[in-house]
Amino acid sequence: MEAAVRYLCGRWWRTLTASSIEEAQADLDRFCATVADDRPRGHATVGVIADAEPLLALPPAPYPATLEVPKLVGSNATVAFRGNACSVPPGLAGIIVMLRHRLGSTTIELMAPSGALLGVHDLRHAGSGETVRTAAHRAALESAILTGFTTARPCDRKGDRPPGPAALAAAARLRGHEPREVTVDLARYAELIDVLR
């Protein structure tokens, strides 16, 4: 194959003057039929040898290729694939799982980083926006959500309290200042109030 590409680049591509893809294809077809196929190979030409090599019949099923895609698990315990979402057990949010789809099959598999099978889902029409959950994943997610509920009193909101002496001293140390004690003379304020009256 590489030799054929080198031959085409050296003999045809460098002399090509076509201005469109259609013209280039027509020129390549002409070159192959008149120049490339007429090259001598032993007792025959390249074209005669190629005609004597019949193509094999097409296989009955497509090649069994498997598509593997790393996917991030969302906070709702699902993985996005082709416009749909497939469930995994809860507690895996933020983890990368491997999604596997064998071409020609109607299912997809989700594998944990350890290689364990997390679930098998039916493949849905691409872009339909469906969320597919197994019964086991649904029950585990409901259980995880319900155990998170509590009847306890909620936490107190943080009050707006001024910093205490320890916090002020720590802040002064961080700024490179030594804490100094501030003395407020309330008698001086009383004198000022008497003057203003």
What is the per-residue pLDDT across 7-59, written as a single tens digit (0 to 9) for each?
888 888 888 888 999 999 999 888 888 888 888 888 888 888 888 888 888 88
* Token pair for 35: 């120049």
Phi-psi region of 129 (alpha: psi -120 to 50; beta: other; left: phi over 0): left
Checking if the pLDDT of 158 tops 80, the result is: no
Checking if the pLDDT of 164 tops 90, the result is: no
Q: Where are the domains of the chain?
A: 2-51, 66-148
Cβ proximity of 130 and 84 under 8 Å: yes
What is the per-residue pLDDT across 79-112, written as a single tens digit (0 to 9) for each?
999 999 999 999 898 999 999 999 888 999 999 9
Cβ proximity of 172 and 179 under 8 Å: yes
Cβ proximity of 136 and 121 under 8 Å: no
